[in-house]
Chain A
Amino acid sequence: MMELRDICREYKVGTELVRALDHVDLTIKAGEYVSIMGPSGSGKSTLLNMLGLLDRPTAGTYRLEGEDVSSLDDDALARHRQQQIGFIFQFFHLVPRLTALENVELPLVLAGAAPKARRERAVSILESMGLKTRLDHRPDQLSGGERQRVAIGRAIVMRPRFLLADEPTGNLDSRSGSEIMQIIEQLNRDGIALLIVTHDPMIGGRARRHLTLRDGKIVSDRSGEGA
């Protein structure tokens, strides 16, 4: 469970104070499927980064699975990210010199997993996403959709409870985009909580819960298919 209480995130730009998140209260339960929408600059990415422990609040408290993580140091945050959170980015962020397989293995490598076990796990994940024949391809030898599938593989290889996706289809054509959506929605049905930031109402509409942000505030929080 993710619980934000009275979270603010402020940036100082020159003498001006930009409030990217403005007293946000939010609770995400295990296995939820949440879309986050809103105009550009409304704070969607900031909120997702906050939930993903990539960013720290300037005020407020954040409890992750009951533990107050608002003021942990860098390495403690890294440990939580490693074990509980998977990220998918608009620009994939694959390591260009590593093969698809090595990219998926990377979190396990950082965690010090044994080579054989991690290889098996990475291979089976890539196979389940239809990339059996692409294991040894480097990112520049893959299509955009394939790259994003590799990135999803990397995000879930540590079996996190939360999958955070910031415009995961923003860089893909509609067909690849819907393939990606099918994959991550299947992961959600298998139990992972899915939070997706998107500009696309068609994609946002597929979630079971819809958040709308404006000027750093959650202006609506509705549940129900196709709302």
Chain B
Amino acid sequence: MRALDVTRLSLQALQRYPMRTSMLLLAISIGVAAVVTLTAVGEGARRYVTGQFASLGTHMIIVLPGRAETGGSGIQGLLVGETARELTLEDTLAVGRSPRIKQVTPIVVGAGTVSAGSRERDISVIGTSAHMLAIQHWTMGSGQFLPPAELDLAQPICVLGNTVARELFAPAPAVGQPLRIGAARCRVIGVLAQQGLSGGFNVDETVIVPIASAQQLFNTSGVFRILAEASEADAVQAAKRDIVATIKARHAGEEDVTVITQDALVATFDTIFEMITAGLAAIAAISLVVAGVLIMNVMLVAVSQRTAEIGLLKAIGARQRQIIGLFLTEAACLSLLGALVGLAIGGLGTWALKLAFPVLDFAAPPWAAAAAVGVAVASGLLFGILPARRAAALDPVNALSQR
């Protein structure tokens, strides 16, 4: 029998029972549409989150003192960091000399009490340099950021996070006002615009001072972290190698730093969201298996309704395999049609989501659409086998005796 004839006969059979066919099409298309829409949501979330990270600067490289065994986890680096040789301002300058590094800044972080007049707050104090603004992509609310200066020059100036400035000075402007950090006095030269969370740190609740001032404040000669920005995205890995080599040379041949790249963090989030998306797809795919069971039931009914017809086909010479082929093709056509309708519905759903939440870039990944269609057809075929075999095994005399 010709493939075209098999398909035509199957489609004619489907047409004959429009109600039943459309119910099954609906069941399958809902499953496929669910896969498409849910994975579009997962993918949209992934793009949003990784996009947020990327906006922080995928060129960013973080250097921590101490060697993490796996080289990937900053937490381990922090845990073993105490015993390692500390990073210094000189290390920072040395790292910054690599042509693959555009700019670099040291960071010291500590807790301090800031007070202005009668108001007082316990907050984080960050010691850093002028480059911090550009590396972190912060924007100024008023005044100016730390001016470029030698790293070891302690100056009595500070920049306030937005919330701190408000809490200490509102309604008066903060810029130009004197401030005490612990026992030290300084002058507010600028206030950051509202930043929100940046790399898990609430910048709005910090006060930023020159690195040397912070070192005096916390009585340390070391550096908590070095932040560097690679000259371009492609240079990040090379820059990372430069940093390790530089520090190794300066630390008597010991590779006692951990270098984290921003893109490694992004990649981690990427993986997490891809897994979530795959999980959503799998959950939605279960509905396709349910649709498959539905196909099986309906096909079983179809076989018993068409018993006489199957008997006739056998009487005029149809082989068992031809009858199996006819019923399986019917199931396959049904699930394929349903899948196509589902793709269309899923596309519409994704489009509607985009309209509703323009911030998120919803788009079902191609693998999800392909897998949904594949699972739909596979489940149609799989669950079509039992009814098809039952049809093929019918005894022609008995089958023909039914009307």
List A residues at the B interface (Cβ < 8 Å): 49, 52, 54-55, 74-75, 78-79, 81-83, 87, 89, 91, 93, 95-98, 106-107, 109-112, 115, 154, 158
Looking at B148-156, B308-316, B362-370, the stretch in contact with chain A turns out to be B308-316
Q: How far is the CA of A106 from the CA of B13 in the complex (A)?
A: 14
How many contacting A-B pairs (Cβ < 8 A)? 69
Taking a contact as CB atoms under 8 Å apart, the answer to whether A78 and B314 are in contact is: yes
Would you mind naming 15 contact pairs between A and B with Cβ atoms under 8 Å apart? A49-B397, A54-B396, A78-B314, A87-B316, A91-B308, A93-B311, A95-B309, A107-B316, A109-B1, A109-B5, A109-B9, A110-B1, A110-B313, A110-B316, A110-B318
Shortest distance in angstroms between A197's beta carbon and chain B's nearest beta carbon? 14
Q: How far is the CA of A110 from the CA of B1 in the complex (A)?
A: 5
* B296-333 interface code vs A (CB 8 A; 1 in, 0 out): 00000000000011011111111111100000000000
Please report which residues of chain B, range 230-285, place their CB below 8 angstroms from some CB of chain A when the two chains form the complex. Answer: none
Q: What residues of chain B lie closer than 8 Å to A97, measured between beta carbons?
A: 12-13, 15-16
Taking a contact as CB atoms under 8 Å apart, the answer to whether B317 and A111 are in contact is: yes
Q: How far is the CA of A180 from the CA of B254 in the complex (A)?
A: 104
Kindly state the interface size class of chain B when it binds its partner.
20 to 34
Q: What residues of chain A lie closer than 8 Å to B317, measured between beta carbons?
A: 78-79, 81-83, 107, 110-111, 158
B193 at the interface (CB under 8 A from A): no
Q: What residues of chain A lie closer than 8 Å to B119, measured between beta carbons?
A: none
Shortest distance in angstroms between B31's beta carbon and chain A's nearest beta carbon? 28
> Given A98-B12, A110-B322, A82 and B316 touching (CB < 8 A)?
yes
> Given A78-B314, A98-B12, A107-B317, A54 and B400 touching (CB < 8 A)?
yes
* B373-403 interface code vs A (CB 8 A; 1 in, 0 out): 0000000000000000000000011001001
> Given A74-B320, A75-B320, A93-B308, A54 and B315 touching (CB < 8 A)?
yes
Taking a contact as CB atoms under 8 Å apart, the answer to whether A106 and B309 are in contact is: no
Q: What residues of chain B lie closer than 8 Å to A112, measured between beta carbons?
A: 1-2
Shortest distance in angstroms between B22's beta carbon and chain A's nearest beta carbon? 16
Shortest distance in angstroms between A83's beta carbon and chain B's nearest beta carbon? 7
Q: What residues of chain A lie closer than 8 Å to B396, measured between beta carbons?
A: 54-55
A74-B320, A79-B317 are known; give 12 further A-B pairs, CB within 8 A: A78-B320, A81-B315, A82-B317, A91-B308, A95-B309, A97-B13, A97-B16, A106-B316, A109-B1, A110-B316, A110-B317, A112-B1
Taking a contact as CB atoms under 8 Å apart, the answer to whether A87 and B315 are in contact is: yes
List B residues at the A interface (Cβ < 8 Å): 1-2, 5, 9, 12-13, 15-16, 308-309, 311-322, 396-397, 400, 403
Q: How far is the CA of A82 from the CA of B16 in the complex (A)?
A: 26
Q: What residues of chain A lie closer than 8 Å to B9, measured between beta carbons?
A: 109
Q: How far is the CA of A155 from the CA of B322 in the complex (A)?
A: 19
Q: How far is the CA of A167 from the CA of B315 in the complex (A)?
A: 16
Q: How far is the CA of A52 from the CA of B309 in the complex (A)?
A: 17
Q: How far is the CA of A97 from the CA of B313 in the complex (A)?
A: 14
Taking a contact as CB atoms under 8 Å apart, the answer to whether B312 and A95 are in contact is: yes
Interface-central residue, B15, B318, B320, B403, by most chain A CB under 10 Å:
B318
Q: What residues of chain B lie closer than 8 Å to A78, measured between beta carbons?
A: 314, 317-320
Q: What residues of chain B lie closer than 8 Å to A75, measured between beta carbons?
A: 319-321
Q: How far is the CA of A154 from the CA of B13 in the complex (A)?
A: 19
Taking a contact as CB atoms under 8 Å apart, the answer to whether B316 and A81 are in contact is: yes
Look across to chain B and name the residue whose beta carbon is closest to the beta carbon of A87: B315
Q: How far is the CA of A82 from the CA of B319 in the complex (A)?
A: 10
Q: How far is the CA of A115 from the CA of B397 in the complex (A)?
A: 30
Q: How far is the CA of A117 from the CA of B314 in the complex (A)?
A: 23
> Given A95-B309, A110-B1, A55 and B315 touching (CB < 8 A)?
no
Q: What residues of chain B lie closer than 8 Å to A106, measured between beta carbons?
A: 313, 316
Shortest distance in angstroms between A21's beta carbon and chain B's nearest beta carbon? 13
Q: What residues of chain A lie closer than 8 Å to B318, measured between beta carbons?
A: 78, 110
Interface-central residue, B16, B316, B400, by most chain A CB under 10 Å:
B316
Shortest distance in angstroms between A110's beta carbon and chain B's nearest beta carbon? 5
Q: How far is the CA of A107 from the CA of B16 in the complex (A)?
A: 21
Look across to chain B and name the residue whose beta carbon is closest to the beta carbon of A109: B5
Shortest distance in angstroms between B390's beta carbon and chain A's nearest beta carbon? 14
Q: What residues of chain B lie closer than 8 Å to A82, measured between beta carbons?
A: 316-317
Q: How far is the CA of A87 from the CA of B375 in the complex (A)?
A: 42
Query: Which 4 A-B pairs rank lowest in CB-CB distance, beginning with the nearest?
Result: A82-B317, A97-B16, A93-B312, A107-B316
Shortest distance in angstroms between A90's beta carbon and chain B's nearest beta carbon? 9
Shortest distance in angstroms between B112's beta carbon and chain A's nearest beta carbon? 85
Q: How far is the CA of A167 from the CA of B352 in the complex (A)?
A: 63
Taking a contact as CB atoms under 8 Å apart, the answer to whether A55 and B1 are in contact is: no
